[in-house]
Structure 1
């Protein structure tokens, strides 16, 4: 295929994943459609495909109603919140000390200040925990408020470009919650002690999801494993996060399919990087326990192809001679630049298990995280298709050149 053909394929993949699915949050119908699409492309390219299943939550919401002092406040339902309807006193809590001190049972609590500077780590998150957040969650569960209102600003590191950000995004936390801007929170706080009306129209649904793994057996059991997560946050088309990464996997399936290589190649579309429970990542870790030493190189694609700037690659835990080989090989690809280390994606699975790792992202990742990622702005028109193709060609070239003992 020539470059134009590859670019047309990328456009097709983005159209399906970002538009036709209607959203790819874990457990949703669109997420299942995306998985089936990825499976079909892998299979058509001649790869062995398996799709390990897991249980998860889907979630539906129809907004909320928040009223006190004769005024209706604009608020949003926290992702995965339970629904309900309450008319109860409002109490304001703005610090850990106040959270320890205040009686919350039978009340609606407005959280603000030091408690809402950053998004809380989900209570059962499998890979790390924030002890402060865990303590606040335990206190709330013990004190049993009827519902939570969180006044928040921005948290690009954890929540992307959304404003305000959802303080709580956790299907394992059962106290219903909504969130609003810091400004609205200040105005609402003036009504502390008064009754507040709050209705949340939301429902949790049991569902299933899966990863999609394609294998091209080589002469050796030593493996190159390539990741791209195909799920997306609720409410975003997820073009750069991470349909473009999935498109790279699908291109690699065609570029490498039919080749006899020494290394075994695995292309894994993970399902859960943007989910509160990381279910697909948990499944992958469980499936690969005791096998990490087989992986000669782990590669991850996330936020690749932004129309501004180039594609940044970063290297971790590689033998020095291999590092230099990768750098020299990538010199012929003008759109690639070596970037800084970053850890907020699935290549952390490789790193925590001692696997040599190569990660790709946008050179302007910080700007994307502040303004675009996890929002409705993450659409296919901000993707530079040629950057996606170039990254796939560079990785295909690297794998072919190095697939020898």
Structure 2
């Protein structure tokens, strides 16, 4: 294993996870990370573009909720608007039918039960938006409660490690909202004679973000795309989600510095997987409209390098010949484990266009999702740089197999 490569991986991990600060979209840390990634790719001889998009940064100064004179522990919904409401009546709803049948005029809406079993998709999110979610948002916008208090449950399968989880995370939704645990929310539901006072100190801040795309041209229009999202959720170091993926892109830049094959190489640090609008993903799709057929293979890296775990991969849109090639590239069964396909990552940008794709992560992916990601626990203590080095070298073998026409 390359000592030099492992050294660069350690350095990149420290810069992106420790020195740049939080990398949520639109933040200074996110912008600094994009500049660092672009500079590193250029230093390896890649032609680099940094297409820009408009976005929202967001400041949270905290929220205060009183039930009568009793203070309840509450959190501000990401991207919520501010409010200052003193001693207002409230109305509750636990189902969509109750929500549609009740009057919230001049009241705070307290949502619970079936309405709060999973996070509501942002109103303009195009990749997945169930009809029930759209009805719920449309009903709330029509009934115009003064604010929303959401009582959310513990749901590792849908909300990961976060408890309570924000019911709304949407800069296009304009009703102020907070969320709290079932334990705290139960106090509201059991005291209907009290009134609520709610103060939210928050601010939406117009900003910009960038994708970072490094390219080396091949002798044909076909290209291999390696991708990873560079953004994080606000308030998490984002080591496994997804500093490790971005560092793998930079390791590939090092390994492919002298590349000159038939296929072009594209290193895509896409910006927005953990952002309500998926702005970087939408921008990339728009820029590649009608050109996805040029992608011979897409490799997405997210959640990779967890200490004490084998690395994992899963395949999409792949035939038997391609499967044999992947098995050859990731052939060490102790180091690489094939797992069931998962659909929560940026590989789906390519999968939905019919492109052969592989998603690289860690063998305990579901544990990472349910216990670590989007929390302060997602630190570099969880990361093994040597595993990242092994993944990068396997990806280099993958490129070599394509050049040898083994796929």
2:18 equivalent to 1:46: no
CA-CA distance at 1:323 after TM superposition: 1.2
Q: Deviations over 1:254-313 (max 9, x none)?
A: 101112111100000000001111000001101111111111101100000111321111
Which secondary structure state, in structure 1, belongs to the residue aligned with residue 125 of structure 2?
Answer: coil
CA-CA distance at 1:154 after TM superposition: 2.6
Moved more, 125-134 or 37-46: 125-134
- Counting only pairs closer than 5 Å after superposition, residues 283-362 of structure 1 correspond to structure 2 as 283-332=283-332, 334-362=334-362
Moved more, 76-85 or 306-315: 306-315
Tell me the distance in 2 between the aligned counterparts of 1:386 and 1:67. Answer: 50
Residue in 2 that maps onto 1:69? 68
Q: Deviations over 1:172-226 (max 9, x none)?
A: 0000000000111111212324321100000001111010000011111110011
8 Å Cα contact 1:333/1:394 also seen in 2: no
Residue in 1 that maps onto 2:399? 399
8 Å Cα contact 1:76/1:179 also seen in 2: yes
Gaps of 5+ in 2: none
2:22 equivalent to 1:23: yes
Tell me the distance in 2 between the aligned counterparts of 1:396 and 1:261. Answer: 13
Which secondary structure state, in structure 1, belongs to the residue aligned with residue 45 of structure 2?
Answer: coil
Residue in 1 that maps onto 2:34? 35
Residue in 1 that maps onto 2:245? 245
Which secondary structure state, in structure 1, belongs to the residue aligned with residue 89 of structure 2?
Answer: strand
8 Å Cα contact 1:90/1:193 also seen in 2: no
Residue in 2 that maps onto 1:226? 226
CA-CA distance at 1:333 after TM superposition: 7.0
Which secondary structure state, in structure 1, belongs to the residue aligned with residue 314 of structure 2?
Answer: strand
Residue in 2 that maps onto 1:132? 132
Tell me the distance in 2 between the aligned counterparts of 1:120 and 1:258. Answer: 46
CA-CA distance at 1:17 after TM superposition: 1.4
Residue in 1 that maps onto 2:82? 83
Tell me the distance in 2 between the aligned counterparts of 1:396 and 1:275. Answer: 30
8 Å Cα contact 2:224/2:296 also seen in 1: yes
CA-CA distance at 1:233 after TM superposition: 0.4
CA-CA distance at 1:381 after TM superposition: 0.9
CA-CA distance at 1:397 after TM superposition: 1.3
Residue in 2 that maps onto 1:377? 377
CA-CA distance at 1:52 after TM superposition: 0.7
CA-CA distance at 1:100 after TM superposition: 1.2
Residue in 2 that maps onto 1:9? 8
Tell me the distance in 2 between the aligned counterparts of 1:61 and 1:17. Answer: 23
- Calculate the TM-score normalised by the size of structure 1: 0.97
Q: Deviations over 1:61-115 (max 9, x none)?
A: 1101111232100100000000110021122211112101111011111110010
8 Å Cα contact 2:68/2:197 also seen in 1: no
Tell me the distance in 1 between the aligned counterparts of 2:110 and 2:308. Answer: 40
Moved more, 135-144 or 311-320: 311-320
Tell me the distance in 2 between the aligned counterparts of 1:331 and 1:175. Answer: 52
Residue in 2 that maps onto 1:174? 174
CA-CA distance at 1:7 after TM superposition: 2.0
Q: Deviations over 1:306-350 (max 9, x none)?
A: 113211111111232121121123214741111111100101111
Moved more, 99-108 or 3-12: 3-12
Gaps of 5+ in 1: none
Residue in 1 that maps onto 2:56? 57
- Calculate the TM-score normalised by the size of structure 2: 0.97
8 Å Cα contact 1:126/1:282 also seen in 2: no
Residues 1:233 and 1:370: Cα distance change in structure 2 (over 3 Å) = same
Tell me the distance in 1 between the aligned counterparts of 2:48 and 2:323. Answer: 31
- Counting only pairs closer than 5 Å after superposition, residues 232-271 of structure 1 correspond to structure 2 as 232-271=232-271
Tell me the distance in 1 between the aligned counterparts of 2:126 and 2:263. Answer: 31
- Counting only pairs closer than 5 Å after superposition, residues 102-251 of structure 1 correspond to structure 2 as 102-251=102-251
Quote the RMSD (CA, aligned, Å).
1.2
Residues 1:227 and 1:157: Cα distance change in structure 2 (over 3 Å) = farther
CA-CA distance at 1:3 after TM superposition: 2.6
Residues 1:257 and 1:334: Cα distance change in structure 2 (over 3 Å) = farther
Q: Deviations over 1:113-149 (max 9, x none)?
A: 0100011111100212111011011111111000001
